[in-house]
């Protein structure tokens, strides 16, 4: 039972890390899109 709880804890941690990385990737894409849009307006 102790091992299962530890695996669940690790899985939860990895899931949160993946969610953060997805957010960062999404923000980078948005940042690029805004930069391209701003460059076109010049």
User: What are the pLDDT digits (tens) for 2-35?
Assistant: 999 999 999 999 999 999 999 999 999 999 999 9
DSSP 5-30: HHHHHHHHHHHHHHHHHHHHHHHHHH
Q: How far apart are CA 31 and CA 28, in angstroms?
A: 5
Please give the span between the terminal C-alpha atoms of the chain, in angstroms, as a whole number: 62
In whole angstroms, give the CA distance from residue 10 to residue 13. 5
Rounded to two decimals, the pTM is: 0.69
Distance separating alpha carbons of residues 10 and 2, to the nearest angstrom: 12
Q: pLDDT band for 42, please (50, 70, 90 cuts).
A: confident
pLDDT at 41: 84
Supply the pLDDT for residue 10. 97
Task: Give the per-residue pLDDT at 27.
Answer: 94
């Amino acid at each position: 039972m102790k091992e299962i709880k530890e695996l669940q804890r690790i899985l939860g941690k990895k899931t949160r890390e993946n969610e953060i990385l997805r957010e960062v990737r999404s923000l980078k894409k948005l940042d690029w899109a805004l930069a391209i849009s701003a460059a076109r307006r010049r």
